[in-house]
Amino acid sequence: MASPKVAWGAKGGFQLCPLCGFEFQTDDTLCRHGCPLRSHCGLIRCPGCGYEFADRPSGILGRIRSLIAPREAWEEEVCALVPLRTLRAGARAEVVSVRESRGDRRSTLAVYGLVPGAEIEVVQRTPAVVVRIGETELALDPAIADEILVREPPGDPKSPAP
């Protein structure tokens, strides 16, 4: 039932700039916006500071590499960032960021208490995502839930200890 965590460096996943520490989605990288080479150069350009760095190789190569060189602590921390939509029902998490999008949606969500730092509990995932923030139950379109990044607390119910 648990959907796979979006891996660090994977397509549609998250990147952490090794230089400035800026967290961003791979899709937001400057390569995807206007660079004629697109992603063919194999480098990722941080939208924060402009530093270019090599994407972590995916596929078999990546797996072999991750066997030899395990992820560092800071990488693990970024790994734990997932879109709200991927949490299963009953999971608790802390909101880390709400992506800025059109209109005053962030402000609307803030009124219900859905801001970075808020503790939330997922009530259900389909047909719409319903989260509980304190005493407020809020139904969100899956599209919105995609734009909210959360961090699950260590030892979360999603991966129970054997």
Partner 1 sequence: MEIHQPAGVAESRPRLLLVGNPNVGKSVLFKNLTGRYVTVSNYPGTTVEVARASSTWDAGATEVVDTPGVNDLDQANEEGRATREMLARHPDALVVQVADAKNLRRALLLTLQLAERRRSSVLVLNMMDELEARGGRIDLEALSERLGVPVVTTIASEGRGTDDVIRALPTGSRLAVDQGLVAKLEDAYARNRARLEQVNELLQGVFALEQPTQPTFGVRLGFWAMHPVKGLGLLAAVMAGLFWLVGLVGAGTFVDLMEVGLFQQRLNPALLRVADAVLPFPHEHRIEELELTVEIPVSPVHAVPLGSSVREVEVPEYELTGPVVGWRRAARFGHDLLVGEYGLLTMALSYSLAIVLPIVATFFFCFSLLEDSGYLPRMAILVNRLFRAMGLNGKAVLPMVLGLGCATMATMTTRILDTRKERVVTTLLLALAVPCSAQLGVLMAMMTRLSLPAAALWIVLMVAVVFLVGWLTARVFGGGSSDLILEVPPMRRPQLANVTTKTMGRIRWYLVEVIPLFLLGTLLLFVLDRLALLDALARVGRPLVVGWLGLPAETAAAFLVGFLRRDFGAVYLLDATIGPNPALDEHQILVAMVTITLFMPCFATFLMIAREHGRKVVVAMTLFIFPFAFLVGGLIHRLAGWAGL
> Which residues are near partner 1 by CB under 8 A?
102-113, 115-116, 121, 123-124, 126-128, 130, 134-141, 143-144
Taking the complex as a whole, the smallest distance from the CB of residue 106 to partner 1 amounts, in Å, to: 5
Using CB atoms within 10 A of its CB, is residue 135 exposed (0-12), middle (13-18) or buried (19+)?
Answer: exposed
Within the chain, where are the H helices?
59-68, 73-79, 105-111, 142-146
Residue 150 CB, shortest distance to partner 1, in Å, is: 17
Burial of 131 (0-12, 13-18, 19+ CB in 10 A): buried
Cβ nearer to partner 1, comparing 11 with 88: 88
Tokens coding 59:
């596929």
Residue with smaller CB distance to partner 1, 32 or 105? 105
Of residues 16 and 114, the one with the C-beta less far from partner 1: 114
Least separation, in Å, of the C-beta of 109 and partner 1?
7
